[in-house]
Structure 1
Amino acid sequence: MSADNHSTFAAAMSEARRGSYRTVPHIVSGEEVFDGALLKREDPSNPDIIVSACHDAPAELVARAVSVSRAAQREWANVPLQERVERVRRAIPFVEQHIEDWAVRVALEIGKPYAAARAEGAEVLAILNMYTEYATAPGAFEDEKLPDPSGMANDSVLKPYGVFGVITPFNYPIVQAAGPAIGALLAGNGVVVKTSHQGAWSGQAVYELTRDMDLPVGLVNVIHGADEPGRALVASDVDGLSFTGSVAVGRSILQSFAAGPYPRPVIAEMGGKNPVIVTDSADLEQAAEGIVFSAFDLSGQKCSALSRVLVTPGARDRLVELVEQRVRSIKSADPSDTDSFAGPVVDTDAVERHAKLLAEAEAETFRIATGSTYGDGYFVPPVVVSGVPVTHKLANVEHFLPFLTISEVHDFESALAAANQTDMGLTAGIYTGDLDEARTFLDRIEAGCIDVNVPGHATTGWWPGPQTFGGWKGSGTTGKQTLGKWYFQQFARQQARKLPPELEHLLTY
């Protein structure tokens, strides 16, 4: 990041804070709609400033959005795959032009520092390039044709479900809306996106990037609001749902979608209680660097964040010392501050939960080290708590905050058992100098994304391109990960077709 880029970013933030806030409309059938109670979003770095607002979509508007999308989807499903891909790719120049603008939105609504805020648009750009490339690869939507022993013509193709709902979280308001929407569109579906009311202006980018795709009017609709519009979308007659959020909410959606006249697909990426193992043979300087970044980037408010360290006895004391040194130097401040490592947490509820966790750790007389905060916003210090038993709830519950526990374990086998002793399995890492430990970790760790001796990243650092992202066990529902070549195929269902040979010309996709 250059000083000039950050200076421009900071100036844009300052200008936006001085102006009037933007009220983001729902988009249904291509029209702006302002139905529902007004919800204002304060700047988490400066809560006295309102930076955006949206309306809490009523259930009838949600139902209308689904109906409109269903009508438009019938036209879109008849567009040949190659043309669908070409139309989706038309969004690439628009995204390239708006990465910096979107970064300002994300910084104002979510409090992300420049690099993380800018990464939202950069990741959308990568997804557009990857998914459209994957979609045109041989066999992406059609199996290889094999001779039929009966002499009949046959094939097997993927067909769209109809309309997919997309429910997004606050922490990645653009990419978690755009990624599933792009996958659903490539597969031939309509889309209804429900954004987080804490990042509605950012989430609106998903509609903006589709405007250059020449889509049927109403194919993509965006609604905003708090919890009720999301519940209405789940209760609607959508044909499938993409959800990113907590394990508890994800499970309730799964139960709902399995309870109707027939099961409907739920593509869910949920939480994680993500561990890193550090053994006696590890490079402890490297481990400490990776631990601190993965635990406290974005103030711990990402599902992949590291939240528990499992360290063997010979490495414990030195590792604790190194981690504490680094944590004490961390600065949580306004994203416009060039020295800000992390920004604020999302709201006052998060501030209160952080205070309760810190008080509980203090009451247990665990060893505690904290970083620094600057400003009057929702800033909380990064906290590392050492000496926490592996079975203690502080070390086993997902907090979604800058709160890290360090627990001593007897040996590598004990660490591996503790790492897997959870219903979640999103990310995990290890630092070790022992080749056998590294090999065993790769073979037996129960997580969808794993790191071994990765500089700067104990459990995070996943990025579009060579790596996919998703969870096992309670952290995911499908085993097919985002950013990969099998992800968007989940938005379609397979159909085997057989016809007399004289009708083979009808078998087109």
Structure 2
Amino acid sequence: MTAADRQDHQAFAAEIAKRRTGDPVVVPHVVGGEERFDGELIGREDPGHPSLTVSAYHDAPAELVQLAVATSRAAQQEWAKVPLSTRIEHVRRAIDYVADAAQEWAVRVALEVGKSYAGAQAEGVEVRDILRCYTEYAERPGAFEDERTADPAGFANDSVLRPYGVFGVITPFNYPIVQAAGPTIGALIAGNGVVVKTSHQGPWSGQAVYEMCQAMDLPTGLVNIVHGADEPGKALTASDIDGISFTGSVAVGRSIMKSFTNGPYARPVIAEMGGKNPVIVTDTADLEAAADGIVFSAFDLGGQKCSALSRVLVTPGAHDRLVELVAERTGRVVVADPTDADAFAGPVVSAEALARFERIVGQAREEHFTVSGGERLDGDGYFVRPAVVSSVPADHTLSTTEHFLPFLTISQVPSFEEALSAANATPMGLTAGIYTGDIDEARAFLDGIEAGCVDVNVPGHATTGWWPGPQTFGGWKASGSTGVQTLGKWYTQQFARQQARKLPVQLEHLLTY
């Protein structure tokens, strides 16, 4: 850290310490602009200090969720009539607000999720950049209107994108602001209303998205927010919502998609559902660079992100040295409270996550694989030493299951070709990477890997590091439902449906968008 960064971190740490000594923040549901406190009150613990309750929320009953949808639907009927250029102008009003709020948002994320300073601070910065990118993309010619040739019969015609109505947004804990903000921004630009259901492990963080929308000066009731765990999410998907944006597990995402094909017609599900992300390392690779990228991508945010690297497939000539380098670097990873300026990663998110970590590390030891790290660290928080498990077969369940934890497997494979085959032998396909000095291997990897985001010899990032503007982000196969990625110029259009319109030329003035 620079001196300026350390000074900023000191202010961040001081605010965390202050919040820990105060009363928990109780976040309300907001429906139709009114704060509501329906449902059982549930506290959210600080994963770094589980004895502390840092926030609380009320578990939204189904009736309130249904009211939120109905309220948004009423407001959306007028919002849909607002010209696209004006909608963009409203959404863009939040950019300055988010820039000012980013530091305060970082404190919320650190307290509820346990993110270190860099990761917590990035939440607001990424939302700001999403606002800039999506509004810029939507302004480009043809973004929401398809330019057509003249009608040979002499009619006036156009082909435009029209909103569906109301979208639900269901978010995960690991990016509790970003993953709620992105779909909300996209849906609003496209002319929809929105009901956000926050993560129960980050309700105060998720509330930031409603606050962002307030800065847009939107019609009252267009955006509503409810809190809770599984039941409010189920109520939202069971409602007459017009579409859902979901980020989370493959199992839940597929269940939502299945339910949305029932009824009188299918409704859109825009889902990002995690990954089992590999990196291939071959004999010709720069192993020092590979080890750096592997450790960062595996253990940033404690491995609790969908793009995190979780399995290494390495050819024989590089195997032993790579295992040594990765274990050495992992041993130097600083796992600590977000108030520690040197913390690279914080605690895992919950007691349940800690129990799963201890279970799979125990399984690796019981099956006599080589385990480096994997211990619980001292203190009352959910802090663990990241685990590196080598000598495990590439097709073993520990290597093929998404654990969402600081748990990395390294498997020796006979050749690059077999490594590529193993990398693709999963129903998921989110991120993937390779380190190689062979140009033919790099080309074959790009041609053959089944993943939406791929890296080749990227210093410091084996599978992570995607950002609005430079890169898009999304998955293939079970990792995504639409084939269109977030952070890109086509993302917002998924929240609308195409309509071709034909009129006599004397009514052409009606064709406005």
TM-score range, shorter chain: over 0.9
Choose from 470, 473, 489 the match for 2:474. 470
Offset at residue 464 of structure 1 (A) = 1.2
Distance in 1 between residues matched to 2:468 and 2:391, nearest whole Å: 36
Choose from 340, 344, 347 the match for 1:344. 347
Paired residue for 2:173? Answer: 170
Query: Structure 2: which amino acid aligns with 1:143?
Result: D
Query: Structure 1: which amino acid aligns with 2:445?
Result: F
Alpha-carbon spacing, 1:296–1:16, altered in 2? closer, same or farther (3 Å)? same
Unaligned runs of 5+ in 2: none
Contact residue 329 and residue 371 of structure 1 kept, 8 A: no
Paired residue for 2:399? Answer: 395
Offset at residue 374 of structure 1 (A) = 4.9
Choose from 424, 434, 454 the match for 1:450. 454
Paired residue for 1:428? Answer: 432
What do residues 240-292 of structure 1 show as CA deviations (whole Å, max 9, x unaligned)? 00000000000000000001110000000001000000000000000000000
Choose from 271, 274, 282 the match for 1:271. 274
Distance in 1 between residues matched to 2:386 and 2:470, nearest whole Å: 31
Distance in 1 between residues matched to 2:255 and 2:424, nearest whole Å: 24
Paired residue for 2:151? Answer: 148
Contact residue 65 and residue 226 of structure 2 kept, 8 A: yes
Distance in 2 between residues matched to 1:6 and 1:268, nearest whole Å: 35
Distance in 2 between residues matched to 1:501 and 1:155, nearest whole Å: 12
Within a 5 Å distance, the mapping from 1:20-419 to structure 2 comes to 20-370=23-373, 373-419=377-423
Query: Structure 2: which amino acid aligns with 1:145?
Result: R
Paired residue for 1:460? Answer: 464
Offset at residue 331 of structure 1 (A) = 2.1
Query: Structure 1: which amino acid aligns with 2:47?
Result: P
Contact residue 115 and residue 338 of structure 2 kept, 8 A: yes
Offset at residue 305 of structure 1 (A) = 0.4
Distance in 2 between residues matched to 1:312 and 1:93, nearest whole Å: 49
Distance in 2 between residues matched to 1:466 and 1:138, nearest whole Å: 21
Contact residue 374 and residue 388 of structure 2 kept, 8 A: no
Offset at residue 495 of structure 1 (A) = 0.1
CA RMSD of aligned residues (A): 0.8
What SS class does the counterpart of residue 213 from structure 1 fall into? coil
Contact residue 330 and residue 371 of structure 1 kept, 8 A: no
Distance in 2 between residues matched to 1:356 and 1:212, nearest whole Å: 45
Q: What count of residue pairs does the alignment treat as equivalent?
A: 509
Scaled by the length of structure 2, what TM-score is found? Answer: 0.98
Query: Structure 2: which amino acid aligns with 1:34?
Result: F
Scaled by the length of structure 1, what TM-score is found? Answer: 0.99
Distance in 2 between residues matched to 1:348 and 1:65, nearest whole Å: 32
Query: Structure 1: which amino acid aligns with 2:484?
Result: K
What do residues 106-154 of structure 1 show as CA deviations (whole Å, max 9, x unaligned)? 0000000010001000000000000000000000000113100111111
Distance in 2 between residues matched to 1:346 and 1:260, nearest whole Å: 37
What do residues 28-66 of structure 1 show as CA deviations (whole Å, max 9, x unaligned)? 000100000011001000011110000000000000000
Identical columns (%): 71
Distance in 1 between residues matched to 2:378 and 2:420, nearest whole Å: 38
What SS class does the counterpart of residue 394 from structure 2 fall into? coil
Unaligned runs of 5+ in 1: none
Distance in 1 between residues matched to 2:29 and 2:384, nearest whole Å: 33
Distance in 2 between residues matched to 1:291 and 1:7, nearest whole Å: 29
Query: Structure 2: which amino acid aligns with 1:417?
Result: S
Distance in 2 between residues matched to 1:371 and 1:315, nearest whole Å: 24
Contact residue 54 and residue 225 of structure 1 kept, 8 A: yes
Distance in 2 between residues matched to 1:374 and 1:178, nearest whole Å: 36
Distance in 1 between residues matched to 2:84 and 2:468, nearest whole Å: 23
What do residues 180-200 of structure 1 show as CA deviations (whole Å, max 9, x unaligned)? 000000000000000011100
Query: Structure 2: which amino acid aligns with 1:83?
Result: T
Distance in 1 between residues matched to 2:30 and 2:217, nearest whole Å: 16
Distance in 1 between residues matched to 2:36 and 2:70, nearest whole Å: 16
Paired residue for 2:493? Answer: 489
